[in-house]
Amino acid sequence: MLKVAITGSIGSGKTIVANIFSVLGIPVYNADKQAKKFLYYDHIKSEIKHYFGNTVFDKSNEIDKKALANIVFNDKKTLNILNSIIHPAIKADFNKWIEKYNDKNYIIHEAAILFESEFYKDFDKIITVTAPQNICIKRVMLRDSISEDKILQRMKNQLPEQEKIKMSDFVIYNDEKQLLIPQVLYIHKKILKIKRLK
């Protein structure tokens, strides 16, 4: 079984691409979705409280995601601390999840900060989904109802698009001009061919 990762900047449309692979019968692990679940785990909460204090917790002693985001997306040092808490949990969970799919030709791991976390080294092939910055901003503003300034701040914490492309095996252009499904089908066939040759 091949391990394939999908990444891309905020608003690039990597989840849409991952969903197309899912329709093709490829198991998909969404790291960002799982990360949000880990914020409810007691040991993660206690580590976050240790580093960030009570200000990022609400009255129910749950993490206030907006308060936490306001801190980490404005300070790379604190973002790195948060990632160092969450990433080991994601890695362990993914390695457990993957055991269920040993009979598959390949699986997909979708993650926004694949390169930044250095998790990319664990994968056989990497796909980067890319889109023009103005389109990404428009999508995120519609999806998350946040300001352009906040989106740009988050983009600053991610590896530049061209760097991701250089480090990838495949690139999918989600620029509202090129169709996504033919691009996904092309990559799907390529990966199956690689698997057969192994």
Mean pLDDT, all residues of the chain:
93
Domains and CATH numbers, the chain: 2-197 (3.40.50.300)
Share of the chain above pLDDT 90, in %: 73
Task: Please enumerate in sequence order all residues whose Cβ is within 8 A of that of 168, keeping only pairs 6 or more positions apart, or say none.
Answer: 7, 126, 127, 128
CA dist 77 to 73, 83, 90, 111, Å?
Answer: 10, 10, 20, 20
- Encode pLDDT of 82-110 as tens digits: 999 999 999 999 999 999 999 999 999 99
Q: What average pLDDT score do residues 38-49 get?
A: 92
State the amino acid at position 33 in one-letter form: K
The model's pTM: 0.91
Nearest to 37 by CA among 121, 116, 97, 124: 97
| Gap between the Cα atoms of 136 and 13, Å rounded | 8
Q: What average pLDDT score do residues 35-43 get?
A: 90
Quickly list H helices, the chain. Answer: 14-23, 31-38, 42-52, 65-72, 76-98, 133-144, 148-156, 161-166, 180-197
- Encode pLDDT of 145-163 as tens digits: 888 998 998 888 888 889 9
